[in-house]
């Protein structure tokens, strides 16, 4: 068995994959960039010609979509249900109003002080057998983090048919199996204050997602600092004491949605809520440097925390 690794940039983030396999592993892994490019072409909100943006242009109408887009919208709606709307995929108009109207690297002049609450996620309708979707009139989908989680899981499931693997899409990771002689894939949660490892975990047949207001920030003309975690109810950047939240969950899109939900609720309320969710565990870093975790996170990863 050989361990293959590959790194490239797509979907606005760094993507890294590792696969333990025989000689066929090289060819299997080589297909990854093309697969990610195909996903991005459908799911990106920064490409006017993407399937997602075409759907957004036709808000209020039933639109036939690809299986890829249907699955991600389905995952997004499910995540909204699980978080009681704290995660809301219809947050795009609010993001645009806050100035996040282009990929982060290009954000220049934040625009406005007007805030636009997100649309009603329950108004997203799906006809699965016909592969049709209708979003509420005047609304628009942003599948950002959910799409990354979904893509990481999809790719990991495909790679897992060849061997144990880890897929890392900009910090959101899915592990399938473990490399020979190891209890899992080693993952470090980084401290947003200095990028040093905060905790180290073994990931096996599960996923981790990290979200935060620490990185994607920009300044408004009024001198305010904005970040990309928007409260769907107010349309404003979330007022929270959480700088970063990491959630471990078997389902990567759910982990991503839970991380955002924790941020929106604040550290203690968010973690208390998270600890009541099925198979969820997590850790937060507050803006004052304090680090909190759910008790099951510590129990699961105590060995690595203690080392």
Partner 1 sequence: MANSDRARKLLIRTALATSATIATLIGAQNLAMLDASQFQSSPTPEADGSLTSQPDAVFALPMLEAGGAGTAFASATVPTTLVVQATPDITIMQAVPNIVILRHAGNTAPRITTTSTSNPVVQQPAAPQIVPPAPVVVQQPVTQKSKSSR
For partner 1, the binding residues in 146-185 under the rule CB under 8 A are: 148, 166, 168-173, 179, 182, 185
Q: Of the candidates 63, 70, 97, 189, which one interacts with partner 1 according to CB under 8 A?
A: 189
Instruction: Assign residue 236 a region (left: φ > 0; alpha: ψ between -120 and 50; beta: otherwise).
Output: beta
Residue 218 within binding range of partner 1, rule CB under 8 A:
yes
By CB under 8 A, name the one of 81, 161, 233, 302 that touches partner 1.
302
DSSP 140: -
Say if residues 57 and 124 touch (Cβ distance below 8 Å): no
Contact residue for partner 1 among 84, 138, 225, 233 (CB under 8 A):
225
Can you tell me whether residue 134 is helix, strand or coil?
A: strand
Rule CB under 8 A: is residue 188 a binding residue for partner 1? yes
Structure tokens at 266: 């604040």
Q: Is 216 in the site for partner 1 (CB under 8 A)?
A: yes
- Are the C-beta atoms of 141 and 92 separated by less than 8 Å? yes
Of 35, 191, 205, 234, which one interacts with partner 1 (CB under 8 A)?
191
Packing angle, helices 67-82 and 144-160, rounded to 10: 120
The residue among 66 and 275 lying less far from partner 1, judged by its C-beta, is 275
Rg of the chain, C-alpha, whole Å: 19
Task: Indicate which single residue of 33, 85, 123, 136 sits in contact with partner 1 (rule: CB under 8 A).
Answer: 33
Q: If residue 9 lies in a helix (H) or strand (E), which one and from where to where?
A: strand 2-10
Measured CA to CA, the distance from residue 234 to residue 74 in angstroms comes to 24
Nearer to partner 1, 28 or 124 (CB): 28
Q: Is the Cβ of residue 77 or residue 148 nearer to partner 1 in the bound state?
A: 148
Give the residue with the Cβ less far from partner 1, 105 or 239: 105
The structure tokens 């998270």 sit at 274
By the rule CB under 8 A, 250 interacts with partner 1: no
Residue closer to partner 1 by CB (options 70, 169) is: 169
Q: Is residue 82 within a helix (H) or strand (E), and if so which, with residue range?
A: helix 67-82
Q: Does position 193 bind partner 1 by CB under 8 A?
A: yes
Site pattern 36..55 for partner 1 (x: CB under 8 A): --------------------
């Amino acid at each position: 068995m050989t361990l293959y690794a590959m790194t490239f940039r797509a979907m606005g983030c760094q993507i890294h994959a590792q696969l333990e396999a025989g000689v066929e592993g090289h060819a299997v892994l080589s297909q990854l960039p093309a697969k990610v490019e195909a996903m991005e072409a459908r799911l990106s909100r920064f490409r006017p010609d993407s399937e997602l943006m075409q759907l957004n242009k036709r808000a209020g109408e039933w639109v036939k979509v690809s299986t890829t887009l249907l699955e991600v919208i389905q995952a997004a709606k499910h995540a909204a249900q699980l978080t009681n709307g704290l995660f809301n995929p219809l947050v795009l108009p609010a993001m645009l109003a806050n100035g996040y109207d282009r990929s982060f690297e290009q954000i220049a002049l934040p625009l406005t002080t007007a805030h636009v609450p997100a649309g009603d996620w329950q108004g997203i309708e799906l006809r699965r057998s016909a592969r049709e979707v209708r979003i509420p009139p005047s609304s628009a989908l942003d599948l950002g983090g959910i799409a990354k989680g979904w893509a990481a899981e999809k790719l990991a499931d495909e790679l897992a048919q060849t061997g144990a693997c880890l897929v890392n899409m900009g910090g959101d990771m899915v592990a399938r199996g473990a490399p020979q002689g190891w209890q899992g894939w080693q993952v470090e949660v980084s401290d947003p204050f200095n990028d040093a490892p905060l905790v180290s975990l073994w990931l096996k047949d599960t996923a981790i997602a990290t979200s935060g207001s620490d990185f994607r920030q920009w300044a408004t003309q009024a001198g305010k600092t904005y970040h990309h975690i928007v409260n769907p109810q107010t349309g404003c950047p979330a007022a929270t004491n959480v700088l970063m939240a990491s959630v471990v969950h078997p389902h990567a899109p759910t982990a991503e949605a839970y991380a955002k939900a924790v941020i929106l609720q604040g550290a203690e309320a968010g973690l208390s809520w998270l600890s009541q969710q099925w198979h969820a565990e997590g850790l937060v870093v507050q803006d004052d440097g304090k680090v909190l975790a759910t008790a099951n996170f510590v129990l699961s990863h105590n060995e690595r925390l203690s080392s």
